[in-house]
Amino acid sequence: MNPSDALTGSIDFTVRSAWQQDAETVSYKTSGTLRLAAAGRGEVTGAIKVVHVVRTPYTADYISIDAVDVKGDLGGQERYADPMLVTLYAAPVTLTTSALPKTNADWNVLSKRRFFQVHTPTTMATFYGPITRISGNCR
């Protein structure tokens, strides 16, 4: 997989608990699945454990999704080291609350930049790429 290869994905999770991490961040303990695919190059999945909602008036609003137990085959790589991260960015002050997006329209607000990152276990080489389409389901 090359860094410019476009990815598509889906997010499906249930919130278990939430806490205020700091003045700008609310974190949610979750259970669910994060799936990303590169056309013709396979896909990876991971168990979503934490979702962070960060609202800042300074740089960007964003949601960061941390997944573990990563499995799959993405561009010939079949072993991964946790965590797998997906970060979805929006312009500052786009998010009006720290609530998690509920609909695909809510997720699509986070479209300024969408980025994926995962590591290999032996070399810690990073696989990363832009996400062109993502759908979300939060309960």
| Domain-located, residue 2 | no
Burial of 84 (0-12, 13-18, 19+ CB in 10 A): buried
The pTM for the full model equals: 0.88
What's the confidence (pLDDT) of residue 105?
A: 86
Task: Decide if 85 contacts 65 (C-beta within 8 A).
Answer: yes
**Closest to 132 (Cα-Cα) out of 16, 26, 4:** 4
Q: What's the pLDDT tens digit per position in 41-97?
A: 888 899 999 999 999 888 999 999 999 998 888 777 777 778 888 899 999 999 999
Q: What percent of the chain has pLDDT over 70?
A: 92
| Domain-located, residue 138 | no
**Which pair of tokens denotes residue 105?**
């329209």
| Domain-located, residue 1 | no
| Domain-located, residue 82 | yes
